[in-house]
Chains A and B, each alone.
Chain A
Amino acid sequence: MQKIKACLIIVVIAAISSCTPRLTTPKRTKVISVDTELLYTVKTFNDDYAVYKTDYDKPDLVAATLLRDRMIKRIEFDIERNFMEYKRVLFLNRAGFNVAADFFEIGLGLATTVTTGAGAKTVLGAVLTAFKGDRLSFDQNYFREKTTETLILKMEADRTEVGNRINDKMSKLQADKYTFEEALVDLVDLFDAGTLQGALVSLAADTGKQAADQKAKKQEIDYFRTASAEQVATLTTLRASFSKLYSDWSKVQGNQTAAKPFVDKVKAALKELQVTIPSTATDAALLQLLNDQITKLTDATAVPSVDRDAYLKKLTDAFRKAGILEQ
């Protein structure tokens, strides 16, 4: 009788545990399926890369930039498509494991209750405890006890951030300033952001100061870009003009009438730059305020490197209109 009961219990547990439903996503259209012919093959990539390098070396930067953008977008498409598949599998596998584990736990619990022998009860209770421990260990080691939704949302957020960074650079920088090789590094970041490990590390970084500092440091390096010889030349002219204005003003600063033409130039430049002029500002403070507009070029958050040329032009125009810079 005991043997029959034990067999029945095992059958019930096995039956219940295998009752996990098979959920899938809607069928994809062919062009975005994983085996699509749109896949960027290594051969096509190598061909494109060879043409890109030729265009870059000529240099035909317009052609190189166009090809760079196309290569980036094709790789992005592959990463995106694979991420969608990964997301689906991750969600279904974990959900499937959890459902099976829940059913198994319920089955074992039920079996422990209906079993009459004290010895058998103890064994089933021990098995249940061990199984719960294994399940917790799986969650802790693979998922750090984060829900699938939290991890996927983190992946999505990080991927959007990297994707925006790539698009921003693509739209503002030509191939000589944002090379394909640099884009490739960003694309690897994009891929990493869509992995379980990437999401877990990123979540840990959000709460860990040291990791966050590393990220900020990386961004700082990323943002403070090499200055071109043209940018240095433009800034040399601007700085020399400002220094001359300051020197001229310094010589007469005690004489309000004599200093007025210089202060008026400062005010005109600030107005051109759409800087609010405090009504109580002294002449020295106004000059400092104008200098601050030049110093902004050292702050990547105030003037991102991609906007550096435009900002230098804005300063040059303002200095010209104010008469600080000769026509």
Chain B
Amino acid sequence: MEKFPIDGTTSLTDQQNTLRFLELAGPFKLLTYTKQADPANPDAKPNSATFDKLPLGAPVPQLILIAVEAGQNAADIIATQLAAGKRIVFHETVFVSGNDAEVIGFR
């Protein structure tokens, strides 16, 4: 199991790129993605990503992160992605651009 702190002040696209970069470099597979509030440093907005190591040669399926915007229903997003053959990796509130955001990860 590998654990990395990801900068929660960045955009969702940047975070997706960073997680994807880590997966490809490993090769790893993202297991969990959560926000990690730090009482000692309230200005820091780290998210925590844990990965499982993949065997050599194993494919690393594309990871996509989708934010549930205000007024949107998470169930609708999930239903659409499941219908497209995707599977849920996580559904959490994480830091995006420094603020709390409901994000769903699929692959």
A residues apposed to B, CB below 8 Å: 214, 217-218, 220-221, 224-229, 231-232, 235-236, 238-239, 242-243, 246-247, 250, 287-288, 291, 294-298
Contacts and interface: CB of A to CB of B under 8 A. Distances in A.
A298 B26 contact: yes
Nearest to B55: A246
Nearest to A182: B9
Interface in B1-15: 2, 4-7, 10, 13-15
A225 B56 CA distance: 25
Contact of A227 (B18, B26, B27): B18
B42 to A, nearest CB: 13
B27 A228 contact: no
B33 to A, nearest CB: 14
Contacts of B21: 227, 231-232, 235, 297
B22 A218 contact: no
A220 B56 contact: no
A218 B44 contact: yes
14 contacts: A217-B5, A217-B38, A224-B4, A226-B10, A227-B17, A227-B22, A229-B13, A239-B60, A242-B57, A243-B58, A291-B27, A297-B21, A298-B22, A298-B25
Closest 8 CB pairs of A and B: A227-B21, A246-B57, A297-B25, A235-B24, A226-B14, A239-B24, A227-B17, A227-B18
Nearest to A217: B5
Given A220-B5, A221-B46, 7 more contacts: A214-B40, A214-B41, A224-B6, A238-B24, A243-B58, A247-B57, A298-B25
B29 interface: no
A186 to B, nearest CB: 14
Contact of B7 (A217, A221, A288, A297): A221
Nearest to B40: A214
Contacts of A225: 7, 18
A232 B17 contact: yes
